[in-house]
Amino acid sequence: MSNNIVDVLWEKILQTRKETFDVVVVGFVIAGLSAAVTAHQNGATVAILERAPLDERGGNTRYTESLWRMKNHDAVSDDFQNRFSENSGGWPDPGIVKDAVLERDNQPRVLRSLGVVDPDLINTLAQEAPKCLSWLGEFGVKFDFLPTYFLSQSTTRMAPVGGGLALVDALGNYVDTHTNKISVFYETAARELITNECGHVVGVKGVSAGNTPFEAIGGSVILSCGGFQGNPEMLSHYIGPQAQFVRPVSRGGHYNRGEGIRMALDIGAAPCGDFGSFHAQPVDPRATDTEPVVLNYSYGILINDAGERFTDEGFNMVDSTYESLTRTIMAQRGGIAFAVFDKSLEDVKNWSVTVRSTVPPLLAETLDALAKLMNVPVAQLNDTVDKYNSACPNQNGFDPMVLDGLATKGLDPIKSNWARPISLPPFKAWPIICSNCFTFGGLKIDSRARVVNTEGDIIPGLYAAGEVAGIDYRTYTGSTSVMRGVVTGRLAGKDAILRDDNKAL
């Protein structure tokens, strides 16, 4: 066969893999589904590119409980905006951020592109969350105050009955029944944004199964393909060598490899969010369960693989401390620790709800035997426990549901609450490692989910929703990830079809 004939055949193959739509969405997750369904409801033809196969669609959303930081169906929690504001940036120049009170178009460019979260975006999340909850109700999703893996809580939370999978199924069913206007391309990964001569984003280049090139052309592109928790190279680059000990919290996270963020940065998008951090959860490394968290550690002690305590296990309520404490575990040699208890753990009513691992704990009648099961130095573990026990106070007033003030004395590090001796057999321990729910670093967006470039201007035709948009610094504002995925997805889906140049080019 001649080279000319081969070239012609290859060109025909490429042409069959080129599709045109009004809106192209990257990622079949809650943010992408919210964007795609909203755009379709407003008359657009939509393409959804999804790396996973059909039976694993939904990303992290598929595996999460999908807690929403709300006090009722009509309002977010009382601490919502304050918590977001506290975690919206580092120490920005006050001479620059003072102009945040101005309308966006009147703000200096340096502020519009600054790596801090736009206050208007936080306000929009708070205002739109109840509306999004109501919108999901139109698809049969019901929200309620459901049990969580926290025995006590520092804020209010609601969740959809059936968790995140209920959201994926509800919106996924809508997509499946509108295939005349919504096309889903499974096992297809986006690699590069297509721009025209005016700098407008008009499509996506990608690759399908068999390394087949693919192009989706559209009037707007919405990136909703998550962070980079499934990309070891990016994790090592941004987080450091300890990232080798971190794994995605769910199977869905393995599909999040950061291309959405990279391809936008490549065309000049402004970064936002803490690229050097992520939402961390303590999990049992032995478990294959979905989100196998171990959150009972505050009632025992945490031991590293040298047999030593290394942190204050009870400095606050678990739902507000587990993230920072989990990162401390990541920093230990080997990235592992053990939550150690004695028989008195049974005094804590319903403690079992705090452990989602179905793998039984290491169990022994003596500390020596437990140390061997943990593979830590026997003498060091005994010495650590002896010193801890000697520092524990009188046990009167122990209350696992509040900060009871039972603190160790003369011990470094201190245990600030719930300090009780480890002395009654049988002894048990759960291994704990740091898991990565999602990364914090992403793209800067405005209150319409439009991506901002490094000059402070909007990149026409480009939107980011969910975890592609950077919004967290240092600490995750808990129970907001799915919520902001729905909100930003809806914002993007609405705005994408309202643009003057929204028709496919």
Of 25 and 505, more confident: 25
Query: Per-residue pLDDT for 83 more than 90?
Result: no
Supply the pLDDT for residue 87: 81
Least Cα distance to 229 among 245, 249, 214 occurs for 249
Supply the pLDDT for residue 86: 84
Question: 464 near 224, Cβ under 8 Å?
Answer: yes
pLDDT of 258-294, one tens digit each? 999 999 999 999 999 999 999 999 999 999 988 899 9
Cα end-to-end span (Å), the chain: 36
Across the chain, what does the average pLDDT equal? 93
Is there a cis peptide before residue 108, judged by omega within 30 degrees of 0?
Answer: no
| Confidence band, pLDDT 50/70/90 cuts, at residue 65 | confident
Percent of the chain whose pLDDT exceeds 90: 84
| Confidence band, pLDDT 50/70/90 cuts, at residue 122 | very high
Query: Per-residue pLDDT for 228 more than 50?
Result: yes
281-435: what fold?
Answer: Flavocytochrome C3; Chain A, domain 1 (3.90.700)
Cβ-in-10-Å burial (0-12, 13-18, 19+) of 17 comes to middle
Radius of gyration of the chain (CA): 25
Cβ-based neighbour number of residue 411 at 10 Å: 16
Supply the pLDDT for residue 491: 98
Residues 6+ apart with CB under 8 A from 457: 109, 112
Question: 34 near 171, Cβ under 8 Å?
Answer: yes
Supply the pLDDT for residue 19: 85
Cβ-in-10-Å burial (0-12, 13-18, 19+) of 469 comes to buried
Domain parsing of the chain, residue ranges: 3-277+440-496, 281-435
281-435 and 3-277+440-496 share a CATH fold: no
Average pLDDT over residues 381-409: 96
Cβ-based neighbour number of residue 346 at 10 Å: 11
Phi, psi of 75 (to 5 degrees): -155, 145
Angle between helices 481-496 and 163-176 (to 10 degrees): 20
Average pLDDT over residues 311-335: 94
Query: Per-residue pLDDT for 378 more than 70?
Result: yes
Supply the pLDDT for residue 240: 95
Total-model pTM: 0.91
Supply the pLDDT for residue 217: 96
Which of 39-43, 59-63, 180-184, 472-476 has the least mean pLDDT?
A: 472-476
pLDDT of 96-118, one tens digit each? 989 988 988 899 999 999 998 88
CATH code assigned to 3-277+440-496 = 3.50.50.60
Of 12 and 144, more confident: 144
Average pLDDT over residues 429-444: 97
